[in-house]
Amino acid sequence: MMNKYAVFGNPIEHSLSPVIHENFAKSLQIQLTYTAILGSIGKFESEAKNFLANGGEGFNVTLPFKQDAFKFSDIKSDISNITKSVNTITYKDGIIYGDNTDGIGFIKDFTQNLGQNIKNKKILLVGAGGAAMGVIPNILMELPKELKIYNRTELKAQNLANQFKALGPIDILDQNNINKVNFDLIINATSIGINNLKFSLPSNTFNKNTICYDMSYGNASRSFMIWAEYNNLKFYDGLGMLIEQAAESFFIWQNKKPNITEELKNLLRKKL
Ligand code: NDP
């Protein structure tokens, strides 16, 4: 029997996950199907149950269902319990397991693929939505010197800082202080680029060695990239993170680590 997997999201038509998982399976000679399912808002539980009842062994979850998937899981991983969100469901012996691989996906891309590190670094995280929340615990586990959150809606940044303060040196950066500190790493976790809006931060937030990492990829990463290039800063987009979080999900399901090749990255870049 073929292993049956999927990704649930809404919208979902542009998801790269089926291509990534099919590529992993092919490289490891594993037979599986992986489809993109457009979930209906308000019907996550019944649609997810239906998929599992019809032979599904697991699925990924993307916007806007990660909190629904958390509630849907019988047993949650530690990291899911911390973020209260799930992006990987595994169904085994009638039990639904929930995990979240977004944060580890970022760490693996940033440290292993890009050869950077987080320990003792001063980090600015711009944005306070689901993407920001997903990476904060893993960043704090890498022992940065400080992690500041800067967000258009300051209250959301404050809520995240409060939620995670037991894990490490996290605080907000408010409008009065945005001019006063510079950072080793600036991570964009906003959706500014999806709407093609201009990304900007004051020049005091960076120095010539500051690294810019955008969790977005494709056209959505253009705004931050343009700003980084204008300021002569090293820039990476979030495609590597997307592939790494998929590889972690694949490992949870198949107990095999897929090889992440340049060929796969190039294939995905062509599809963006
Ligand atoms: P959310 O909708 O949860 O959050 C959006 C964030 O962007 C909020 O902080 C919001 O601020 C901010 N924002 C939106 N518009 C503006 C604006 N005009 N000016 C300033 N701030 C703005 O989205 P997500 O967190 O889920 O996703 C963010 C990005 O991360 C997406 O591009 C997504 O594709 C990417 N992502 C990438 C992953 C990967 O594997 N590479 C994984 C997950 C996400 P406010 O609070 O004020 O509204």
* Catalytic hit among 66, 108, 121, 148: 66
Token output for 81: 């319990």
Same fold, 3-100+245-271 and 103-237: yes
DSSP, collapsed to helix, strand or coil, labels residue 232 as coil
Angle between helices 130-141 and 154-164 (to 10 degrees): 40
- What is the total residue count of the chain? 272
Q: What is the pTM of this model?
A: 0.95
The residue whose CA is least distant from atom 3 of ligand 1 is 129
Q: Does domain 103-237 have CATH number 3.40.50.720?
A: yes
pLDDT higher than 80, residue 1: no
Pairing, β 58-61 against β 32-38: unpaired
In the chain, which ranges are E strands?
A: 3-9, 32-38, 58-61, 75-76, 88-92, 95-99, 122-126, 146-150, 170-172, 183-188, 206-214, 234-236
Pairing, β 75-76 against β 95-99: parallel
66 catalytic? Reply is: yes
Q: Domain limits of the chain?
A: 3-100+245-271, 103-237
148 within 8 A of 180, measured Cβ to Cβ: no
pLDDT band at 175 (very low <50, low <70, confident <90, very high): confident
CA of 51 relative to ligand 1 center, distance in Å = 29
DSSP, collapsed to helix, strand or coil, labels residue 49 as helix
pLDDT higher than 90, residue 70: yes
Fold of 3-100+245-271: Rossmann fold (3.40.50)
Number of other CB atoms surrounding residue 59 within 10 Å: 27
Burial 79-110 (b: 16+ CB within 10 A, else e): bbebbebbbbbbbeeeebbbbbbbbbbbbbbb
**How much of the chain, in percent, has pLDDT values that exceed 90?**
94
Q: Is the CB of 130 inside a 6 Å radius of any atom of ligand 1?
A: yes
pLDDT value of residue 195: 85
Instruction: Give pLDDT tens digits for 131-144.
Output: 999 999 999 999 99
pLDDT higher than 90, residue 196: no
